[in-house]
Amino acid sequence: MLPHQENRITIDGIEIALTSPDLFPFHWVGQRDVLDQLLACWLVIHPGDIPLNPRLVGRPGVGKTTLAYAAAKKLEKQVYIFQCTMDTRPEDLLITPVINDKGGIRYVASPLVAAMIQGGVCILDEGNRMSEKSWASLAPLLDARRYIESIVTGLKIYAHEDFRICVTMNEDASTFEVPEYIHSRLQPQIYLDFPEADEEKRILKENLPFVEEQILDYVVAFLQKAHFHQENYSVRDGINIARYAAKRMHALPEKVNREAIMRQAILMVLGQEATIHYS
């Protein structure tokens, strides 16, 4: 189905379909300081100033995407999320030609280009999974020039003055090394670490308000012990453990062995090696 007319724009005679913004019930209940740091990056304090392009770095599941989304919503901006992979091509990042229902070509803007045109926020999620070839297509966007060049359409598209961008990056082995000329454009680095126990409990309650307190306490105790031993188990893992445990307890008779259910939930979600951190 073709996009509605209001979701199209014509630039130099070429019609481009715009991707719709992403809408998620994300709320940031973590550290206020990192939220303030990100918002500061996007400030423009002088006519000669431009916003920064921060990168949010941390282990998988610590809330990097949620933080970026919440910051954008605090500024009342539309949010466009682009999921990066090792297969991401330059045209995927910019404008892609597709066959329409009449056999002709139409052009579809990526979430990144839609955000540029609409003056929204783009979150490049897990950016260090992309290859250098893809990063190279973004070099002029990430400096004072603030434009992209689409080889597919032959267009040069400048970013709206309200456009903002940030990149999330995971600390794990399944990533590429970001080229230095791009790395220097993605500044500053905002690091997200595992939360403290009280903060972890708030995050769990925000995401699982229907799960009883005792289950959440079990999960927080497990996660805190795992963090102490430098395991990469995150709040996201904790949410899955608590959700599964709650479902199991709901499905079983009233007199259940909660300890056994919690251990089983950890085993089913994270594997046998994780159970050593539950006691």
79 vs 251: which has the higher pLDDT: 79
50 vs 102: which has the higher pLDDT: 50
pLDDT at position 4: 41
One domain, residues 60 and 152? yes
pLDDT at position 24: 87
Tell me: the pLDDT tens digits for 249-271?
A: 988 877 778 899 999 999 999 99
Domain boundary among 140, 164, 192: 192
Number of domains in the chain: 2
126: left (phi over 0), alpha (psi -120 to 50) or beta: left
One domain, residues 113 and 229? no
Task: Specify the 3-state DSSP secondary structure of 50.
Answer: coil
Q: What is the CA radius of gyration of the chain?
A: 22
Task: Specify the 3-state DSSP secondary structure of 15.
Answer: strand
Domain boundary among 192, 208, 238: 192
255 vs 112: which has the higher pLDDT: 112
Q: Tell me the pTM.
A: 0.88
Residue 127 has pLDDT above 60, yes or no: yes
pLDDT at position 27: 80
Task: Specify the 3-state DSSP secondary structure of 235.
Answer: helix
Contact 41, 35 (CB under 8 A): no
One domain, residues 153 and 263? no
Tell me: the pLDDT tens digits for 165-224?
A: 999 999 876 678 889 999 999 999 999 999 899 999 999 999 999 999 999 999 999 999
Share of the chain above pLDDT 70, in %: 97
Q: What is the dihedral of CA 248, 253, 257, 262, to 10 degrees?
A: 10
The boundaries of the domain holding residue 79 are: 5-192
pLDDT at position 1: 36
One domain, residues 136 and 205? no
One domain, residues 132 and 160? yes
Domain boundary among 159, 192, 225: 192
Residue 278 has pLDDT above 90, yes or no: no
> Which of 276, 278, 269 minimizes the C-alpha distance to 217?
278
One domain, residues 159 and 233? no
One domain, residues 179 and 235? no
Q: At 136, is the pLDDT very low, low, confident or very high (cuts 50, 70, 90)?
A: very high
The CATH number of residue 138's host domain is 3.40.50.300
Residue 118, CA distances (Å) to 10, 145, 146, 164, 223 in order: 13, 18, 14, 11, 40
The interaxial angle of helices 197-207 and 235-251, nearest 10 deg, is 50
| N- to C-terminal Cα separation, the chain | 54
**Encoded tokens for 132:** 């250098």
Return d(Cα 199, Cα 31) in angstroms, integer.
8
Return d(Cα 163, Cα 146) in angstroms, integer.
9
Residue 2 has pLDDT above 50, yes or no: no
One domain, residues 37 and 128? yes
Tell me: the pLDDT tens digits for 7-42?
A: 899 999 999 999 999 998 878 887 889 999 999 999
One domain, residues 167 and 273? no
One domain, residues 27 and 104? yes
Return d(Cα 28, Cα 32) in angstroms, integer.
9
One domain, residues 180 and 204? no
Segment 61-90 mean pLDDT: 94
One domain, residues 73 and 16? yes
